[in-house]
């Protein structure tokens, strides 16, 4: 425990009380002792590099290149992704991939390259393996995108897991994005980033790293092209990045560089090359399509830690109704969770929940329950007793149950890396469904008591790992992912006619298959607001299109301006949720005065109006992998000015949102992508590319619509309407609509619309419908 952890532990002890705090500290030290005894001392290590090439073995999609002290398998898949794995590493088994090993591209073959190396040429990329083990990825035109240097291993002489280092270089103009949910900015600056999911132990801001969702996934954007790289190891590690620098008159560039250090597991890598849209599409094919949430989940969610009783819920809902403020879901937070741990839910609350849920559903409001993996280790607790009966909980190397101290007290943890445990846990959601809950938010699934107290599970804890067996060093980062899978699959069996709503605080590559992510406890304050945007953009670029943040800040008391600006940002996020742990005050709009209530009503109504557009983005994300929230450079990665813009974003292809992230702002600058843009409120016209200044009064944030866009919106009668923004003279436009009807599993057809000028009029017609009558009312704007 270092000095920072000691300070954190003192703070946490003061919050949870000395008795439980001291128990948690003792449990943490107990885990550390178990690790010191159970983990073999590495002792002397032997460094190893591949050596020189000695031969090749051609195979499907590429082949194996053999070196003096290692070998690498290179394969190009039919979908265009490139794989290479060292020392016999194969694509599977992998928690990141959906299904089995992808099919190899039969057209890609291993052929000799210059200087004694070998290469595989494919439609989207050329992969060259040098005679000493370097791997270079180039565009089809031969421009280098990245160059991985020969890897290096350190193997204990007495046996055990090898740790390894992989270094790489990219072009001097390249910019780094991704690595999961990072709060310091969507663009990753120079520094070292940890690859270990943690609970920050309180609210976090831009300085927080790591957080709850870390991924060894980078998206690298350069003039030559965009590529995504995924080093498929779940073990703890770090990524160090250094941006390049172009020569200032000397003609010499310093390339961008990076280094990955991992404590174990296979050394295997995936690379996808192309435009950002193509790269994310290939990535989604590899890791699985994103789950589409039910339509009600796209509305406004309300969560506050102290709202845990039927009376409190009814009070909050009545306040929203009295002021004509839309609300679509209410979360029962940690207090409700703590109450249920003894016997799922207290008897009196169990009796009132179904009635409450029925009354709320009649008003179009759903109940969402928090779910924590920690199970109170107490005989008589049905979950604990049931789990022990099937040996569901994690044990140590000696076979003893491992317990840690968290919210409910001394608790044990299910081993979600075992298929049978996931099935058992998924069945437990039946109780919640019977109580009237419609959705679930997974919390505390980093398997960490807190950043101050350290791991809830020691590194020596044993896990099934899908029958392979192993310890927590390999299982830690995928613990939240496997819990999300258990919930999603269990709900799919319990309610097969409905799409599940599962949002998880922790996760890993592929978590989009089972739902979305929420930020956890973001600090109240302007830096926390900026961090919220960074988290959502970063997760989207890692293949998790649906995510959101604790708007307004988890702790503290935001000012009316901060609260309103957070609400305005959240209205354009995939998960629109207000959350608070405030005990001293409220977090409802009316607590901030009538002016805030009026502006909040506009924000909430606008979110409701855009619901058909959000559902369209959800279905498109499942089909294409494209995130809802996209950086401004999404359609023009070659625009260096857009690459450095982190305070605005695209919502789909049609809208540009420029949130206010600083106090006292009434106007703000924003850099526009190419084309014409309309202010959706004033109708003002702006032409890009380049910087412009837009109005940002307290009542709204600037939202611009792309000229030629067709935007599906909700009309006053609740039906779908098409909002058409006039294209520039002589140009055309268009848009998509995916109508979501019943929250079921049926894949709706994509409806395509095109817009053009004809004899001084704007004409909208369905693509391929022969010019028939449109099925929805149309409103043309921007004339």
In sequence order, what are the residues at sequence separation of 6 or more whose Cβ sits closer than 8 angstroms to the Cβ of residue 737? Answer: 612, 616, 710, 712, 720, 722, 750, 751, 753
Residue 250 has pLDDT above 70, yes or no: no
* C-alpha radius of gyration, the chain, whole number: 26
Question: Quick one: what percent of the chain has pLDDT higher than 70?
Answer: 87
- Per-residue pLDDT, averaged over 408-423, amounts to 92
C-alpha–C-alpha distance, residues 306 and 631, integer Å: 36
Convert the pLDDT of each residue in 603-622 to its tens digit: 999 999 999 999 999 999 99
- Under 8 Å between Cβ of 372 and 445: yes
Work out the pLDDT band at 397, boundaries 50, 70, 90: confident
Q: Does residue 356 have a pLDDT over 50? A: yes
What is the per-residue pLDDT across 543-588, written as a single tens digit (0 to 9) for each?
A: 999 999 877 666 677 899 999 999 999 999 999 988 776 554 567 8
Q: Which residue has the higher pLDDT, 303 or 191?
A: 191
- C-beta separation of 208 from 200 below 8 A: yes
Q: In this predicted model, which residue has the larger pLDDT, 379 or 337? A: 379
3-class DSSP string for 37-48:
HHCCCCCCEEEE
Q: Rounded mean pLDDT of 241-250?
A: 82
**pLDDT in the model for residue 335:** 53
Task: Give mean pLDDT, residues 531-542.
Answer: 94
Give the model confidence (pLDDT) of 495-504 as tens digits: 999 999 999 9
105: nearest Cα among 86, 90, 124, 89 = 124
Secondary structure of residue 107 in the 3-state scheme: coil
pLDDT tens string 15-73: 445 555 555 556 565 666 666 666 767 778 889 999 999 999 999 999 999 999 999 99
Q: Cα(388)–Cα(752) distance, rounded to whole angstroms?
A: 54
What does the pLDDT read at residue 32? 65
d(CA 227, CA 246): 20
Residue 382 φ then ψ, to 5°:
-60, -35
Say what the pLDDT of residue 451 is.
44
Strands (E) across 549-600 are located at: 576-580
Cα–Cα distance, 456 to 28 (Å, whole number):
7
Report the pLDDT averaged over residues 341-345. Answer: 37
Q: Which of 87-101, 240-254, 316-330, 703-717 has the lowest mean pLDDT?
A: 240-254
On the question of pLDDT at 455 being above 80, the answer is no
Q: Contact 502/297 with Cβ under 8 angstroms?
A: no
Q: Which pLDDT belongs to residue 634?
A: 97
Question: Would the pLDDT of 341 be above 50?
Answer: no
| Predicted pLDDT at 27 | 59
pLDDT value of position 200 = 73
Q: Where are the beta strands (DSSP E) in 696-774?
A: 703-706, 710-714, 720-725, 733-737, 751-758, 761-766
Q: Please state, in angstroms and rounded to a whole number, the distance separating the CA atoms of residues 408 and 310.
A: 21
Give the mean pLDDT of 589-616. 96
**Average model confidence (pLDDT) for the chain?**
89
State pLDDT tens for residues 682-703: 999 999 999 999 999 999 999 9
Interacting residues of 249 by C-beta distance below 8 A, sequence separation 6+: none
Q: What is the pLDDT of residue 21?
A: 56
Tell me how far apart the alpha carbons of residues 523 and 479 are, in angstroms, rounded to a whole number: 25
Polymer length in residues for the chain: 783
Give per-residue pLDDT as tens, 124-150. Answer: 999 999 999 999 999 998 999 999 999
Phi, psi dihedral angles at 772 (to 5 degrees): -70, 180
Contact present, 437 and 369 (Cβ < 8 Å): yes
- Which pLDDT belongs to residue 59? 94
Q: What is the DSSP string of 192-204?
A: EEEE-----SS-B
Contact 735, 710 (CB under 8 A): yes
User: pLDDT by residue (tens digit) across 641-672?
Assistant: 999 999 999 999 999 999 999 999 999 999 99
Q: Which tens digits make up the pLDDT trace of 751-779?
A: 999 999 998 899 999 986 555 688 999 99
What's residue 100's pLDDT?
A: 87
158, pLDDT greater than 60? yes
């Amino acid at each position: 425990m270092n000095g920072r952890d000691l300070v954190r532990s003192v703070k946490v002890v003061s919050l949870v009380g000395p008795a439980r705090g001291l128990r948690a500290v003792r449990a943490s030290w107990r885990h550390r002792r178990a690790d010191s005894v159970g983990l073999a001392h590495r002792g002397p290590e032997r460094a190893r590099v591949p050596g020189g090439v000695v031969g090749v073995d051609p195979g499907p999609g590429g082949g194996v290149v053999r070196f003096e002290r290692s070998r690498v398998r290179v394969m190009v898949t039919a979908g265009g992704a490139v794989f290479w794995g060292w020392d016999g590493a194969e694509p599977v088994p992998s928690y990141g991939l959906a299904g089995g090993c992808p099919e190899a591209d039969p057209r890609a073959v291993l052929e000799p390259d210059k200087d004694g190396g070998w290469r595989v040429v494919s439609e989207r990329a050329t992969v060259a393996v040098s005679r000493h083990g370097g791997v270079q990825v180039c565009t089809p035109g031969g421009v280098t995108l990245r160059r991985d240097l020969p890897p290096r291993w350190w193997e204990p002489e007495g046996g055990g897991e090898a740790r390894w280092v992989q270094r790489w270089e990219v072009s001097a103009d390249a910019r780094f994005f991704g690595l999961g949910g990072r709060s310091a900015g969507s663009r990753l600056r120079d520094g070292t980033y940890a690859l270990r999911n943690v609970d920050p132990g309180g609210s976090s801001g831009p300085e927080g790293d790591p957080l709850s969702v870390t991924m060894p996934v980078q998206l690298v954007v350069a003039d030559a092209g965009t590529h995504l790289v995924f080093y498929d190891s779940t073990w703890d590690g770090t990524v160090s990045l250094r941006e390049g620098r172009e020569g200032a008159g000397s003609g010499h560039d310093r390339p961008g560089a990076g280094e990955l250090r991992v404590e174990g597991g296979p050394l295997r890598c995936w690379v996808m090359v192309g435009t950002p849209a193509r790269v994310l599409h290939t990535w989604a094919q590899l890791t699985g399509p994103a789950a589409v949430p039910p339509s009600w989940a796209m509305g406004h969610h309300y969560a506050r830690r102290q709202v845990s009783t039927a009376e409190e819920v009814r009070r909050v809902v009545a306040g929203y109704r009295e002021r004509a403020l839309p609300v679509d879901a209410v979360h029962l937070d940690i207090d409700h969770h703590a109450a249920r741990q003894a016997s799922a839910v207290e008897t009196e609350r169990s009796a009132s929940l179904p009635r409450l849920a029925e009354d709320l559903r009649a008003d179009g409001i759903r109940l969402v329950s928090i779910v924590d993996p920690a199970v109170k280790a107490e005989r008589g607790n049905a979950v604990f007793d049931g789990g022990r009966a099937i040996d569901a909980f994690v044990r140590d190397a000696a076979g003893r149950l491992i317990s840690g101290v968290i919210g409910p007290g001394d608790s044990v943890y299910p081993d979600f890396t075992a298929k049978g445990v996931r099935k058992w846990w998924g069945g437990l959601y039946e109780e919640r469904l019977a109580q009237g809950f419609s959705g679930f938010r997974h919390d505390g699934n980093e398997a960490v008591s807190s950043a101050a107290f350290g791991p809830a599970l020691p590194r020596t804890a044993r896990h099934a790992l899908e029958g392979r067996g192993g310890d927590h060093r390999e299982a830690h980062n995928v613990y939240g992912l496997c819990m999300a899978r258990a919930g999603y699959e269990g709900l799919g069996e319990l309610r097969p006619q409905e799409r599940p709503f599962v949002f998880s605080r922790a996760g890993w590559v592929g978590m989009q298959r089972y739902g979305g992510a929420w930020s956890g406890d973001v600090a109240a304050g302007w830096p926390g607001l900026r961090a919220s945007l960074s988290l959502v953009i970063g997760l989207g670029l890692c293949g998790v299109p649906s995510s959101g943040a604790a708007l307004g800040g988890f702790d503290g008391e935001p000012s009316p301006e901060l609260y309103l600006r957070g609400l305005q940002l959240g209205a354009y996020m995939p998960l629109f949720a207000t959350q608070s742990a405030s005990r001293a005050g409220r977090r409802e709009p009316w607590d901030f005065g009538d002016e805030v209530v009026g502006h909040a009503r506009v924000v909430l109504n606008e979110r409701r109006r855009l619901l058909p557009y959000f559902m369209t983005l959800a279905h498109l994300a499942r089909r294409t992998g494209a995130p809802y929230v996209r950086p401004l450079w999404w359609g023009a990665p070659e625009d260096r000015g857009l690459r450095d813009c982190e305070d605005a974003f695209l919502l789909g292809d049609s809208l540009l949102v420029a949130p206010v992230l600083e106090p006292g702002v009434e106007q703000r600058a924003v850099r526009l992508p190419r084309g014409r843009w309309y202010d959706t409120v004033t109708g003002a016209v702006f032409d890009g590319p380049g910087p412009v200044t837009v109005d940002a009064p307290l009542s709204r944030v600037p939202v611009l619509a792309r000229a030629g866009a067709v935007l599906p919106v909700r009309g006053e009668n609740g039906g779908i309407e098409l909002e058409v923004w006039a294209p520039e003279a002589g140009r055309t436009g268009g848009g998509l609509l995916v109508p979501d009807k019943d929250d079921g599993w049926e894949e709706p057809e994509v409806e395509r619309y095109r817009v053009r000028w004809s004899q001084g009029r704007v004409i909208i017609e369905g693509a391929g419908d022969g010019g028939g009558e449109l099925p929805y009312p149309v409103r043309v704007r921007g004339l």
